[in-house]
Structure formats: C-alpha cells, structure tokens
Amino acid sequence: MRFPYGIADFRAIIDEGYFYVDRTDRIPLIEEAGKQLLFLRPRRFGKSLWLSTLENYYDLARAEDFERLFGGLKIGQNPTPLRNRYFILKLNFSVVDPGGDHDAIRSALFDHVNTRIEDVLVRYAPWLGQPARIHPDNAIASLQSLLGAVSRTPYKLYLLIDEYDNFANEVMISPLRGTDRYDELVQGEGVIKTLFKAIKDGIGRAGHRPGVHHRGFSGRPERHHQRLQRRGRSEFRAGLPRPVRFYRERTARRTGSRCGRPPSRRRPGQHRS
C-alpha cells in the first residue's frame, strides 16, 4: 500500500494505485449546499485533492474516463445527473508571484488567469461554437468573453480556485509595505476585488457554478485584517492566522526584529531612556 503524501492529483492517485480514502459520497451534499462553496481546513487536510476530485468528476471532456476513475468508488455506483456536465476553469493563486507593487501583482495575476482561459478554449474547442477572445492586458475582460462563449452552449462553467488566500498571506507578511499593498489589492477597486466582482456578476447572469477553495482565513480576508488593525500591536501579532504569524516570527528570528519590523539600530549596551 502506497500513501500519496504531497500528491493532490486525483487522476494520478487512482491510475497509479495509491491509497485513497473514498469520500465521494459527499458529492451530492456538495451539490445541495449551494453555488458558492468555501472549503476551510488546515494544511494537509486534502483540500487541493478534493478540488482535483471535483474537477475530474464534473469535467465534460473526461466523460469517457468516468468508469475508470470513479467506477470503484461510492459515487460511481450512484452518480448524480451533473457528472461530466461542466466546462472546468481551475485557478491556482499559489503560482502567482505576490512580489512587487500593485501593478506587478496585477500583471502576474492576469497572466495566470489568461493562461488558464487559453487552456479552457483549447480543451473544450469541440463544444464551444464561438471562441472567446483573450485580452492580454485585461484578464477580467477575457473571463467575461469566456462566460459569454459558454452561455451560448447547453453547458455551464465550474470555477475552482485553489490557494485563494495566497495573496493575503504572502503580501501581509512582507516587510515592504505589506499592509499597504494588501489594501490596494482587496479594497476599493483593487485587482483581486475587481476580479471577484466579475466572477460574481457572471454567476448571477449565467448561473455558472463556482467551487472556491480557500485556505488560511476563516472569513473574508480584508475584513479579518481590518479587525486585526483595530487591535493593539501585541494582539495584532497574536491574532494573525497561523501561516502569517509563523513567517513573521521566522523573519524576526533571522533579522533580530519584532513582528517583521527592521532590527533596532541601538548599539550593544544602549537602552531606551
């Protein structure tokens, strides 16, 4: 028996004979839960693997593989009517570089979204009568074009987002304008907020189904951060989500600073007055 430690690819686990805990009988419950789903679990709880399971189950282009992948599992004995009935768009924010200023992060995010949309257009070309248009400098426009193309088919789009809070964790712990860059991204007309507004608008108009995977925060990251800012400095540090707290403390140990702030410039033996 081989355990798939660190493997989050459902297809690879089944095809290569790894040990798999079958929880596919929860898929009907997922369908009953609603259109916007948020999975909140600690690290190594199988969130990415569950997304991969849903991806393979709902993917229109993988209908011929259903029996091989799910035939021996619980859901294979009694599949739901929605199996293999969706176009799948899967985003993974952990591969987007959160470094640089707001414009650099915007460019990296748009490049990733456009790349994933291009994959969708190639993969589902036989079902898409009219291809969507890719806008190199505006992935939100590319997404809207894709939603328009999907709406002209009998199918819908299933959106999966892995590492949804990657920007929050990585940007907030940055010693260089961490909180300022974070606010630029998620507040006002920040690029992340605007992207999700476009997703929400597309869901409302066309009835597309998003499956959103989220790690780290137990609520909307911007609201969580605002609550922390209203607290004292010591409570702010204690109240940070564990990944943020860990990286700040690690930075502090390496630099001799506190909470990621620059180390003190006092000479040895010098004390505050």
Judged against a pLDDT cut of 60, whether residue 36 lies above it is answered with yes
Q: What is the mean pLDDT of residues 153-175?
A: 80
pLDDT at 206 (0 to 100): 55
Helix (H) or strand (E) holding 180: helix 178-186
User: 237: pLDDT confidence band, cut at 50, 70 and 90?
Assistant: very low
Domain edges within the chain: 1-84, 85-220
- Of 176-185, 224-233, 259-268, give the lowest mean pLDDT range: 224-233
User: 74: pLDDT confidence band, cut at 50, 70 and 90?
Assistant: very high
Q: Which residues are paired to 92 by β-bridges?
A: 162
Instruction: Report residue 6 as tokens.
Output: 């660190």
Number of H helices, E strands in the chain: 13, 4
Judged against a pLDDT cut of 60, whether residue 252 lies above it is answered with no
Exposure on the CB side of residue 187, measured as CA atoms within 13 A: 12
Q: What is the mean pLDDT of residues 26-36?
A: 87
Q: What is the mean pLDDT of residues 204-226?
A: 45
Exposure on the CB side of residue 7, measured as CA atoms within 13 A: 16
Average pLDDT along the chain: 76
Judged against a pLDDT cut of 80, whether residue 99 lies above it is answered with no
Of 9, 159, 164, 8, residue with least CA distance to 87: 159
Judged against a pLDDT cut of 80, whether residue 222 lies above it is answered with no
